[in-house]
A and B are shown apart, each in its own frame.
Chain A
Amino acid sequence: MSFEDFVTGYGRSLVRLAFVLSGDRQVAEDLAQTVLADAYRHWKRVRAAADPEAYVRRMLVNAHLSWRRRRWTTERPADLRQEAGATVADPADAVAARDQMRVLLSRLAPRARTVLVLRYYADLDDTAIAAAMGVSVSSVRATASRALASLRGPAAVGVQRGTR
Chain B
Amino acid sequence: MNQSTERELRELFAADAADAPDELVVAAAAVRRVHRRRRNVMVAAATTAVITAAGGYGVYRPAATPQAQPSAAASLAPAASAPAADLPAGVTPGDPLTFGAAQCVKPYSPETLAEQAFAFDGTVTGIGPARTERSTHPRQDLRSVTFQVHTWFRGGSAGTAMVDMSPPAAGPGTGDATSEHVPAYQIGTRLLVSGMPRWGGGPLADPIAWGCGFTRYYSPSVAAEWATAAK
Contact = CB atoms under 8 A, between A and B. Distances in A.
Nearest to B21: A29
A16 B20 contact: yes
Contact of B19 (A14, A36, A88, A102): A88
Interface in B14-29: 14-24, 26-27, 29
A85 to B, nearest CB: 12
Interface in B25-59: 26-27, 29-31, 33-34, 37
Contact of A7 (B14, B18, B24): B24
Contacts of A152: 1, 5
B8 interface: yes
B9 interface: yes
A130 interface: no
A65 interface: no
Interface stretch (A46-54, A67-75, A114-122): A114-122
B176 interface: no
Nearest to B27: A7
Contacts of B1: 152
B110 to A, nearest CB: 48
Given A102-B12, A120-B6, A148-B2, A33 B17 contact: no
Interface string A3-30: 1000100011011111110010100110
Contacts of B34: 37, 40-41
Contacts of A18: 20
B26 A32 contact: yes
Interface residues of B, number: 29
B21 to A, nearest CB: 5
- Most chain B C-beta atoms within 10 Å of own C-beta, residue among A16, A34, A35: A16
Determine the main DSSP class of B at the interface with A.
Answer: helix
A89 interface: yes
A89 B19 contact: yes
A154 interface: no
A19 B20 contact: yes
Contact of B17 (A20, A40, A148): A20
A94 interface: no
Contact of A121 (B8, B14, B22, B29): B14
A29 B13 CA distance: 17
- Most chain A C-beta atoms within 10 Å of own C-beta, residue among B17, B29, B37: B17
B29 A92 contact: no
Contact of B30 (A20, A25, A40, A97): A40
Interface in A86-118: 88-92, 97-98, 101-102, 105, 116-117
A15 B20 contact: yes
A83 B31 CA distance: 31
Nearest to B7: A120
B106 interface: no
A17 B20 CA distance: 8
Contact of B21 (A19, A88, A91): A19
A151 interface: yes
Nearest to A12: B23
Given A29-B29, A32-B23, A121-B13, 6 more contacts: A7-B24, A29-B21, A34-B30, A88-B19, A90-B15, A148-B5
6 contacts: A11-B27, A28-B20, A32-B30, A39-B30, A40-B34, A152-B1
9 closest Cβ contacts across the A-B interface? A121-B13, A36-B30, A11-B23, A19-B20, A37-B30, A15-B23, A16-B17, A16-B20, A120-B9
Interface of B: 1-2, 5-6, 8-24, 26-27, 29-31, 33-34, 37
